[in-house]
Amino acid sequence: MKVEMKVEYYPGETGEFIKVIEDNCVGCGECAKFCTRDVWQPDGAIYRPVNLKQCVECGACWNVCEYEAVDFSEPKGGTGVRFSYG
Amino acid sequence: MNDNEYDVIVVGAGCAGPAAAKKAAELGLKVLILEKSQVPGEKNVSGTCLNGAALLEPDLNYIVECPVERTIREMRTYHINSDRTTVFHEIPSKGILLLSVRRDHLDSWHTEEARKAGAEVKLSTTVVDIIEEDDYIKGVVTDSGEKFYGKVIIDAAGVNSIVGRKAGLIPKRKGQNMILYVTVAVKLGEEVINERFGDCIEYYLSPGIQYKTWPWIFPKKDTVTVGTGGYMDENLINDEFPNVNQYMENFLNLPVVKKKLEGGEIASWGLHLEYDEAIERRVRNGLILTGEAGGFVIPFLGEGMPEAFFTGIYAAKAAAEAIEAGDHSEAKLSERYEELIGENFFMQAFRHIATVNKESILTKTDEEITQMMQQVIIGGGFISNAIHTKWLKGVEEENFELIQEAYDFLELIQPYAAVDPDFENLYNERKSK
């Protein structure tokens, strides 16, 4: 059996629902470490949610960040990740 | 009341939200429920097996009418290490133990029940802020800028709820007491599942396939849900396990699992973050936190959906009484809410067992737990881990009190084993309606 991360998304723009607060980011990389979807990538001395389209909205990055550098909101209504089977 | 004014606004249509909205509407209140997804349940990931012992509580009897994938009557546990594999085949009740469901189907059905009871439902609507006046939570703001006002706001928006966070009740967990798990749904077809799994759920324990959790395979109608993950501390992610998907890969590659899933196809993948600790303060003036938003989930026992149903219903009851009295203060709301939670035997007992279970899991390596569970004589799952840990420790230390506590535990879980035959009767009665 082919093991793959098959994730569906609703069509439509989610908006920029995760942002880095640049002044607070120390570049520790905890956000990227706990992100299962490779959303966070290094950019110079800090990290950015570059691959936001791959996000499944779990909130691990916001929860682990000790520097208040993750601004974690919600995608626009009816957009973002769509799970089936639950 | 104006069009955008309600008695109760419920945020989130997962497990807790529709339960709260339905109950509040039945109590004669004007209710609005807001859900961010297009279809309720499509942003949810969970174990998806409803516990019969919980559904026997009169408040939850109606849930039995939900779309059910499979009735679960048995449980198997595999303990695997390099030396040996042991398999426990448990039949804790002679009747139905659990109902296996799909969250998209369950939550959509439940939301429709709330609508039928009189609640207004708005889907594809994300709540992005709260409206606060004079230290009271008075309403919510949606992503389109609409404002809705309610005498009481019931937050049922999950583990990272914006409402609870903005109200200052949901803390940042900083990697403490958190569980991150992944699931895959494997399509096998109904006949193959009947043959390989039947009405039996399976738990697995083996070094390298989980980190301080308990991987599972739950059969649905034509797919099985496979889940595993780990406790988020500094050891969850490392060179060998660059992310939680590695635990899943190892799980799916266990020879016994590989064989059971042969010919299958991954239909979907899911991820969920859980917070394993009840939140200290879950009520503010005009606001009640329920379900996962309120920390009512018990990862170390694999429970969460019943707690969400219960707390949703209790929040609605507390809100109705507060509105009737014209007092929506924290004191008024929390008095009744906490009282109803305190009186719920299922919630109290499971929380207690989970605490002991968590303690034993966190103080042992996965290797040690596997080894211990290979030598036990009763059962092989979550609950018996808690019992055996106490029992073995008591024997080792010649401490009779610990052994007595293990016995008391067994007594405590009797209502769980006593599902038979009442739940089967309830199920048949409700399904024939």
CA distances from B98 to B93, B95, B222, B275, B324 (A): 10, 9, 17, 23, 37
pLDDT of residue B165: 96
Return the residue in B45, B50, B126 with the most chain A beta carbons within 10 A, the one to mutate for interface testing: B126
Q: Which residue of A has its CA nearest to B173?
A: A63
Encode chain B in three state secondary structure. Answer: CCCCEEEEEEECCCCHHHHHHHHHHHCCCCEEEECCCCCCCCCCCCCCEEEHHHHCCHHHHHHHHCCCCEEECEEEEEEECCCCEEEEEECCCCCCCEEECCHHHHHHHHHHHHHHHCCEEECCCCEEEEEEECCEEEEEEECCCCEEEEEEEEECCCCCCHHHHHCCCCCCCCCCCEEEEEEEEEECCHHHHHHHCCCEEEEEECCCCCECCCCEEEECCCEEEEEEEEECCCCCCCCCCCCCHHHHHHHHCCHHHHHHCCCCEEEEEEEEEEECCCCCCCEECCEEECHHHHCCCEHHHCECHHHHHHHHHHHHHHHHHHHHHCCCCHHHHHHHHHHHHHCCHHHHHHHHHHHHHHHHHHCCCHHHHHHHHHCCCCCCCHHHHHHHHHHHHHHHCCCHHHHHHHHHHHHHCHHHHCCCCHHHHHHHHHHCC
CATH number of the A16-76 domain: 3.30.70.20
3-state secondary structure of A74: coil
Closest chain A C-alpha to B258 CA, distance in angstroms: 8
d(C-alpha B169, C-alpha B425), whole Å: 41
Chains A and B form CB pairs within 8 A to the count of 149
Among candidate residues B229, B200, B25, the one with its CA nearest the CA of residue B114: B25
**Residue A65 vs residues B161, B188, B294: alpha-carbon distances, Å:** 17, 40, 21
Per-residue pLDDT tens digits for B22-62:
999 999 999 999 999 999 999 999 889 998 888 989 999 99
pLDDT at B417: 58
R_g over Cα of chain A: 14
**B159:A78 CB<8 A:** no
Contact B143 A66 (CB under 8 A): no
Residues of A in contact with B100 (CB under 8 A): none
Q: Å from A28 to nearest chain B CA?
A: 13
User: Is the torsion defined by CA of B15, A61, B247, B279 positive or negative?
Assistant: negative
Token pair of B205, please? 């324990």
pLDDT of residue B382: 65
Domain ranges of chain A: 16-76
Q: Are A85 and B243 in contact (CB < 8 Å)?
A: no
Token pair 């097996």 in the structure block, residue: B49
Q: In Å, how far is A16's CA from the nearest CA of chain B?
A: 12
Of the partner residues A36, A37, A85, the one whose CB lies closest to the CB of residue B268: A85
Q: What is the ipTM of this complex?
A: 0.96
Q: Do B41 and A86 lie within an 8 Å CB cutoff?
A: yes
What pLDDT score was predicted for residue B415?
58
**A78:B38 CB<8 A:** yes
Tell me the nearest-neighbour CA distance from A52 into chain B, angstroms: 15
Written as six digits, the tokens of A85 are 């089977």
Q: Which residues of A touch B185 (CB under 8 A)?
A: 84-85
Nearest CB to A34: which of B46, B180, B261? B180
pLDDT tens for residues A31-51? 999 999 999 999 999 999 999
Q: Are B45 and A7 inside 8 Å of each other by CB?
A: no
Pick the closest to residue B169 from B180, B184, B179, B159 (CA basis): B159
d(CA B291, CA B259): 37
DSSP code for A52: G
* Under-50 pLDDT residues of chain B: none
Question: Which chain B residue is nearest to residue A36, measuring alpha carbons?
Answer: B243
pLDDT value of position B395: 85
CA distance B19 to B39: 16
* CB neighbourhood size of A37 (10 A): 20
User: Residue A82: which H helix or E strand, with range?
Assistant: strand A80-82
pLDDT of residue B74: 87
Across A53-75, average pLDDT: 95
Domains in chain B, CATH or no CATH each:
5-65+102-174+278-344 (3.50.50.60), 73-98+175-275 (3.30.9.10), 349-417 (no CATH)
Collapse the DSSP code of A65 into the 3-class scheme (helix H, G, I; strand E, B; otherwise coil) and give the result: coil
Residues of A in Cβ contact (< 8 Å) with B244: 36
Q: Using an 8 Å Cβ cutoff, are B433 and B65 in contact?
A: yes
Q: What is the pLDDT of residue B381?
A: 64
Report pLDDT for B92.
57
Instruction: Decide if B102 and A84 are in contact by the 8 Å CB cutoff.
Output: yes
Query: How close is the nearest chain A Cα to the Cα of B323, in Å?
Result: 30
Of B112, B63, B75, the residue nearest B307 (C-alpha): B63
| Chain B residues with CB-CB distance to A30 below 8 A | 175
Tokens describing residue B62 = 């109606």
Distance CA A66, CA A50 (A): 20
Q: CB–CB of B203/B380 below 8 Å? A: yes
- Rounded to the nearest angstrom, the gap between the alpha carbon of residue B231 and the centroid of all alpha carbons in its chain is 16
